[in-house]
Amino acid sequence: MLNFLKTLPFVDANRIGVHGWSFGGFMTTNLMLRYPDTFKVGVAGGPVIDWSYYEVMYGERYMDTPETNPEGYKDSNMKLKAGNLKGHLLVIHGGVDPTCVPQHTYSFMKACIEAGTYPDLFIYPGHEHGVVGKDRVHLNNKMTQYFDEFLK
């Protein structure tokens, strides 16, 4: 799909950004770390960083257990790829997220510090897995400003 998009006359292949929330946040982080020369900017909201931290009901449905699929869990652990970050990545998390607990983001930030990479972080205090109410307007403005600043 990305190769197709790059063929379109209105797509600038040097300015490609990606955004997602929850599993989409995982995919955003994953794309930024696996294809650092392709994706220049990403905004990952409530991202799963390490599937061994995620709720069993969802994670093990698709990945089996860490004991039966150690390579799958290792390959999808974004902390182990933190050193690959080249572009601008904004990680956003709800401060009291019970679905994708903040430990995901905090452990990723620690891995980035250890790897010498510099993602940006924004926490929405009091919010769970989604940002709602008037803070949602702030969130949408924050994401728009981030893409505007780093994709120009």
Q: Which residues are catalytic?
A: 22, 97, 129
Buried-exposed string 67-80: b where 16+ CB fall within 10 A, e elsewhere? eebeeebeebbbbe
Calpha distance 4→86 (Å, rounded): 23
Calpha distance 33→146 (Å, rounded): 18
Is the backbone of residue 116 left (phi > 0), alpha (psi -120 to 50) or beta? left
Is the backbone of residue 109 left (phi > 0), alpha (psi -120 to 50) or beta? alpha
